[in-house]
Each structure stands twice: as C-alpha cells, then as structure tokens.
Amino acid sequence: MAEVLVLVEAADGAVKKVTTELLTLARTVGEPSAVWIGPGYSDAVAATLGEFGAAKVYVADGAQYVDHPVAPKAEVLAKLVADVSPAAVIIASSAEGKEIGARLAVRTNSGIITDAVGLSADLVATQSIFGGSTVVQSKVSSGTPIITIRPNSTGPEPAAGAAVRSDVSVDLSPAATLATITGRAAAAKGGRPELTEAAIVVSGGRGVGAAEGFGVIEALADALGAAVGASRAATDAGWYPHTFQVGQTGKTVSPQLYIANGISGAIQHRAGMQTSKMIVAVNKDAEAPMFELADFGVVGDLFVVLPQLTEEVNKRKG
C-alpha cells in the first residue's frame, strides 16, 4: 500500500488530537507514516501514533529543526518525499502547518491544497470556501500532493500500527536557518482545550459589553469542557485577548458545537465559524443574522440565559 506522510503536531510533548484525525484520514489513502520533527520523541508519543495506525515513524531529532521557523521542517519533509516517494503529504491546517506545506510545495515542485475538511481515497480534497457558502472538490495535479487539513474534519478512530522508528537527519540549507526563534512564552492555558481543536467553542461578542462580561462565557465553556472564542468587536475593544479571535482575520474553527453569544453574525465572523457542525445563538436582537445560521437560538439577555444554561449543564452532568 502506498505510503502517506503525516506531519505530527505536538504540544507539551504530547501528540495533538488533530494528528490522530490526520492519521485516521491518511488510512483511507494508504499506509500512514508519521513524521516527528524536533526533540522530545518519547514512548508515549510512539504509543499514540501506533494506536492511530502509523506503520512507521520518521524521527528527525534535534533542536536545530525547531529553533528556526518553518523552513527546517519543510526541508526534512522534502528529503522524505525524495527518499520514499509518498502518495501524499498530510499536514494540519495550522498557520505553521500551511507554511510548511507552502515551502515544501515550492521545494518539491508540487501542488498544495490548504484548509481541506475532507479527503477521499483518490486524494480529492473537499474545501469549504467563501465563509462556507461554497463547497469545492480539488485535486493536486502536479508533483506530490500536499494537503493541509483542518482540525475536527474527522473523528479520530484507532487502528493498530507498528510505529516502527526510522531516524532521519538532514543537513539544513543556509537559507533555512536565517531566521531564529529567540524567545518563546507559553500561553496561559487555564485547562481549556485549544480553540482550533476544541469540539465545543463558546464565543462572546459585542453583546458581552465588557471584559468582566466574559465571566459568564468562561463559566459555560468550563461546564461544557469547551474553548472560549471572541468576535473581532470583543478583541478590538480589549475585552478578550486577540489570540482567541474567531473570524476572517482570526482563527477558523469548525467544532461539533459553536455557541455564539452577543455576536451579531457579521460576515467576517461567519467566515471563521460557519462550518461548525451545530450552531447555537443567544442574542438580544431578534434580527441578528447569526440566528439565520443557528440550529437553535434564544432571543434574550445572555447574562440571564447563560448562567441558567451553565447551571443546567452542571446539573445534567452530575
């Protein structure tokens, strides 16, 4: 069966959920080989990759691959593409993932499709574009198909793989090390899932009214085990950090459930969340366009509705 390379994303030494989704999708195309780039490869990582079907794991161990942004990872993948001629390279559609794919496409003279939400056995990628209004089927027509896939595009399904380790080493080109990451600060986590990966996102917008207003949003998010998002109006006003902005110039999310609170539903926001599987809206304004998208909506005061919902969620969980 054809080999399919899957670039592993990890945080704090653990494989991210999106990688298990990518391995699941890769199995419909061929036999997945995971690619780990950087220090910190561990038995726990190998176990997770094997659990989701990685037959092989290529390990490029070394700080030099992660001290410089993007280019070293593209060069490692380019070497593997040359060595093993994979059927495709599959990467998570994160900001970094897309750029790694971009440089790999240039290096290997290959086509790239980004932000896919589905992938067929014959490598036809499904994309949802123009804020979700149009569904496109595309295929790479030249070189090795490089496809970046959004988190939550499929449910991770285990299937045993041997996860046989194979070490790779690449002499990086001088150009790959021109830019150096000189400082890193981990984001304050607070125990919530990462926004782009979360199965549930609870978001607040202009209607939240103030930074303190996000208390009710966070309480509901924590009851549901959800991530917190915010509209541009809320982040521009300084009520919530812009890392959490959902929309055209922020993050694109596609969770199982998106709860939009006090968000009117301007096109810029919709572009970042319209492909959510289910949408619930709470807004004082019955005319808010967000209600057109909502599977369920409540016209009312979010400061009344959300605490009641939070209490109800906690009650039913127990």
Residues 195-224 that bind other proteins (CB under 8 A): 196, 200, 224
Give the orientation angle of helix 214-224 with respect to helix 302-317, to 10 degrees.
Answer: 20
Neighbours of 312 (CB within 10 A): 11
Sign of the C-alpha dihedral computed for residues 233, 239, 242 and 246 taken in this order = negative
Q: How far apart are CA 82 and CA 170, in angstroms?
A: 12
> Rule CB under 8 A: is residue 111 a binding residue for other proteins?
yes
Q: How far is the CB of 270 from other proteins (least distance, A)?
A: 11
Residue 12: what residue type?
A: D
> Rule CB under 8 A: is residue 128 a binding residue for other proteins?
yes
> Rule CB under 8 A: is residue 304 a binding residue for other proteins?
yes
> Rule CB under 8 A: is residue 310 a binding residue for other proteins?
yes
> Rule CB under 8 A: is residue 313 a binding residue for other proteins?
yes
Candidates 135, 159, 164, 211: give the one binding other proteins (CB under 8 A).
135
By rule CB under 8 A, what count of residues binds other proteins? 92
Q: How far is the CB of 281 from other proteins (least distance, A)?
A: 8
> Rule CB under 8 A: is residue 269 a binding residue for other proteins?
no
Q: How far is the CB of 142 from other proteins (least distance, A)?
A: 4
Q: How far apart are CA 91 and CA 23, in angstroms?
A: 10
Q: How far is the CB of 161 from other proteins (least distance, A)?
A: 26
Are 168 and 80 contacting, i.e. CB atoms less than 8 angstroms apart?
yes
Nearer to other proteins, 56 or 107 (CB): 107
Candidates 43, 141, 171, 318: give the one binding other proteins (CB under 8 A).
141
> Rule CB under 8 A: is residue 256 a binding residue for other proteins?
yes
Candidates 64, 66, 79, 102: give the one binding other proteins (CB under 8 A).
102
Q: Kindly report the backbone phi and psi dihedral angles of residue 179, in degrees, each rounded to the nearest multiple of 5, phi listed first.
A: -100, 135
Instruction: Identify which range of 28-36, 51-59, 103-111, 162-170 contacts other proteins by CB under 8 A.
Output: 103-111
Q: How far is the CB of 132 from other proteins (least distance, A)?
A: 6
Task: Point out which residues pair with 202 in neighbouring strands.
Answer: 228, 259
Q: How far is the CB of 56 from other proteins (least distance, A)?
A: 26
Long-range Cβ contact pairs of 308-313 (< 8 A, separation 24 or more): 309/220, 310/216, 310/219, 310/220, 310/223, 313/220, 313/223, 313/224
Nearer to other proteins, 55 or 291 (CB): 291
Name residues whose C-beta falls within 8 Å of residue 183's C-beta, 6 or more positions apart in sequence: none
Q: How far apart are CA 8 and CA 91, in angstroms?
A: 8
> Rule CB under 8 A: is residue 184 a binding residue for other proteins?
yes
Candidates 21, 115, 263, 276: give the one binding other proteins (CB under 8 A).
115
> Rule CB under 8 A: is residue 190 a binding residue for other proteins?
no
Candidates 2, 13, 42, 130: give the one binding other proteins (CB under 8 A).
130
> Rule CB under 8 A: is residue 186 a binding residue for other proteins?
yes
Q: How far apart are CA 238 and CA 217, in angstroms?
A: 16
Candidates 60, 178, 262, 273: give the one binding other proteins (CB under 8 A).
178
Q: How far is the CB of 276 from other proteins (least distance, A)?
A: 11
Burial of 181 by CB count in 10 Å (0-12 exposed, 13-18 middle, 19+ buried)? Answer: exposed
SS (H, E, C) 16-32: CHHHHHHHHHHHHHCEE
